[in-house]
Amino acid sequence: MRIVLVGPPGAGKGTQAAYLAEKLSIPHISTGDLFRANISQGTSLGKQAQEYMRAGQLVPDEVTVAMAEDRLNQPDAQRGFLLDGFPRNQFQAEALDSYLTDRAQSLDAVLDLEVPESEVIKRIAGRRTCRNDSSHTFHVEYKPPKAEGVCDSCGGELYQREDDSEETVRKRLEVYHRETEPIIDYYKAKGLVVTISALGKVAEVTQRAMDALGAKAA
């Protein structure tokens, strides 16, 4: 299957993408991974992206699209893929359509993970990260540490990253509503969108998604 995954920040796209890609035996292709791979490999696209990122600017659509197309040309993506974070706006969505049309291919589904804005803020603003090791993460409500403010794994101090502050989350939501949400209507007009609730346990959301994609493929 060829799938695009959309949803607001905090919807659990990365987590669900990894599980779904494994279950469907297709590669999980995320924008973040594309940037990191191109930068670490020193590709011309990676060098361009790094210049913009160092300047605190968004990577231009043309560079992002070129990275995505290069990745989609690789052998493991020929039988399907799951895109996470791409397309980010209508320009990128139209570029993806053109790319697929040129190869006599098309998307099978656009999976929309729906979650209330209040839950998004609670999920992200409640995150706490260990100062000693950023891979040690907790949540004040959903995964609290045994001792408040102390990492269970190493005893390091837990803190709220600036990116996880409520103010930053609200700004990220504004960007999502302005730039990414419109592509849902774009894909709805093509009959591709399946919307599921992203509330509940991870396994429950994954099963919901599999059922929805199965119905779409039937």
Would you please indicate which residues are annotated as catalytic (active-site) residues?
13, 88, 127, 161, 172
What three-state secondary structure class fits 102? helix
CA atoms 82, 190, 63, 11: torsion sign? negative
Measured between alpha carbons, how far is 214 from 197 in angstroms, rounded to an integer?
Answer: 16
How far does the chain reach from its first CA to its final CA, in angstroms? 12
In sequence order, what are the residues at sequence separation of 6 or more whose Cβ sits closer than 8 angstroms to the Cβ of residue 154? 130, 132, 133, 136
Q: Classify the C-alpha dihedral 8-13-15-20 as positive or negative.
A: positive
